[in-house]
């Protein structure tokens, strides 16, 4: 059992990863800036299980400012999930925050690791994104051209390139995982599945961007946790893997499943397609299957049922 760091530990994916690592006996140092991109109480709720665990050590820290050297020296792995997420909100003046939270924070972390004695350097597992591809016909393998459609995608790709660079120049074992629209309990409140379920539970209308026929390769959060553990064990310096759930569905399909699971009809308000939004995502999963033995386990309806159960508790509705 080793000591590991999880950055972004209070977030959606980070908090699930902490729970799993603690359950496996690891000592977990959880770092989070508790950025106000969504309410602090939701992030604290994400951390509730981990916070009570004797092997969990939480530090509120901004990776752009804090000194991580002592912590990094103790860790076998840094799971780097801290980021400012959100595709459609990354235009305009907010890009400065994306540069800091996604690019500079990653560069500072990699520098910290680089400056350690080679024998002390932890593996870095970086949370990249399907948004690095842009609007391409799938299925997309990892060597497909990258062409982000949003400033957010540009920032995630820049940080991924930094991982590649620190791997090739300094031998740092940095592995990038490109996640495809992750869903499940604790999903961020700005994401489609969360918004649609909340609307269904609270009898509110939803906003559908464009014709709703855009598709995503939805990936269950527990599968993403599996991928992180496999990457820490089996990934090599500079590796990049797609992590897709094999659950391709349109926004309209998604809404129909949520209506069925919640047994309600949801009123739709149609808005224009949003800048930065890609038409489709579709992961080629051959490489992750071959190298990480990664096979997603949870289908869309099952995962939505689990998210609905969690959100009934979140919004105080047991019915």
Query: What is the rounded CA–CA span in Å between residue 240 and residue 20?
Result: 23
Whose tokens are 């997420």? That residue is 85
Binding to ligand UGA, residues 275-314 (CB under 6 A): 277, 281
Residue 146 in contact with ligand UGA, rule: CB under 6 A: no
Stretch of 12-20, 207-215, 231-239, 309-317 lying at the interface with ligand UGA (CB under 6 A): 207-215
Enumerate the β-bridge partners of residue 123: 77
Stretch of 33-41, 92-100, 127-135, 233-241 lying at the interface with ligand UGA (CB under 6 A): 127-135
Contacting ligand UGA (CB under 6 A), which of 12, 179, 220, 241? 179
Enumerate the β-bridge partners of residue 129: 179
Q: Which residue is nearest to ligand UGA (CB)?
A: 129
Residue 242 in contact with ligand UGA, rule: CB under 6 A: no
Query: What is the rounded CA–CA span in Å between residue 293 and residue 291?
Result: 6
- CB nearer ligand UGA, residue 122 or residue 222: 222
Enumerate the β-bridge partners of residue 242: 178
Report how many residues bind ligand UGA under the rule CB under 6 A. Answer: 21
- Least Å distance between CB 197 and ligand UGA? 11
Q: Which of 98, 126, 152, 220 is catalytic?
A: 152
Under DSSP, the state recorded for 102 is I
What would the 3-class secondary structure string for 17-37 be?
HHHHHHHCCCEEEEEECCCCC
Query: What is the rounded CA–CA span in Å between residue 106 and residue 128?
Result: 11
Residues for the chain: how many in total? 319
Residue 158 in contact with ligand UGA, rule: CB under 6 A: no
Q: Who contacts 150 (Cβ-Cβ below 8 Å, separation ≥6)?
A: 87, 88, 90, 91, 131, 275, 276, 277
Query: What is the rounded CA–CA span in Å between residue 98 and residue 61?
Result: 17
Listed residue (126, 110, 14, 122) closest to 72, CA to CA: 122
Residue 274 in contact with ligand UGA, rule: CB under 6 A: yes
The answer to whether residue 152 is catalytic is: yes
Residue 266 in contact with ligand UGA, rule: CB under 6 A: no
Contacting ligand UGA (CB under 6 A), which of 209, 253, 287, 306? 209
- CB nearer ligand UGA, residue 13 or residue 63: 13
* Chain contacts with ligand UGA (rule: CB under 6 A): 85-87, 129-131, 179-181, 191-192, 195, 207-209, 214, 216, 251, 274, 277, 281
> Which residues are marked as active site?
152
């Amino acid at each position: 059992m080793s000591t590991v760091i999880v950055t972004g530990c209070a977030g959606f994916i980070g908090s699930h990863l902490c729970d799993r690592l603690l359950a496996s006996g690891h000592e977990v140092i959880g770092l989070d800036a508790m950025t106000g991109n969504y309410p602090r109480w939701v992030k604290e709720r994400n951390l509730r299980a981990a916070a009570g665990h004797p092997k969990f050590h939480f530090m509120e820290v901004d990776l752009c400012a804090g000194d991580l050297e002592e912590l990094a020296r103790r860790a076998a792995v840094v799971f780097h999930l801290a980021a400012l997420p959100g595709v459609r909100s990354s235009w305009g003046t907010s890009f400065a925050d994306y540069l800091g939270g996604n690019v500079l924070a990653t560069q500072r972390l990699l520098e910290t690791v680089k400056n350690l004695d080679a024998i002390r350097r932890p593996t870095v597992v970086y949370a990249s994104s399907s948004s690095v591809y842009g609007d391409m016909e799938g299925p997309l393998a990892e060597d497909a051209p990258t062409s982000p459609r949003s400033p957010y995608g540009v920032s995630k790709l820049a940080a991924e390139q930094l991982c590649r660079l620190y791997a090739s120049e300094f031998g740092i074992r940095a592995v990038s995982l490109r996640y495809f629209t992750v869903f499940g309990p604790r999903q961020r409140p700005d994401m489609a599945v969360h918004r649609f379920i909340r609307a269904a539970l609270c009898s509110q209308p939803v906003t559908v961007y464009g014709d709703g026929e855009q598709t995503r390769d939805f990936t269950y959060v527990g599968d993403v946790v599996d991928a992180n553990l496999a990457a820490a064990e089996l990934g090599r310096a500079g590796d990049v893997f797609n992590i897709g759930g094999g659950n391709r569905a349109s926004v309209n399909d998604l809404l129909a499943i949520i209506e069925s699971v919640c047994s309600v009809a949801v009123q739709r308000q149609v808005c224009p397609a949003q800048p930065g939004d890609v038409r489709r995502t579709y992961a080629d999963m051959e490489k992750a299957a071959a190298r990480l033995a990664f096979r997603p386990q949870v289908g869309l309806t099952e995962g939505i049922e689990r998210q609905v159960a969690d959100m009934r508790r979140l919004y105080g509705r047991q019915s």
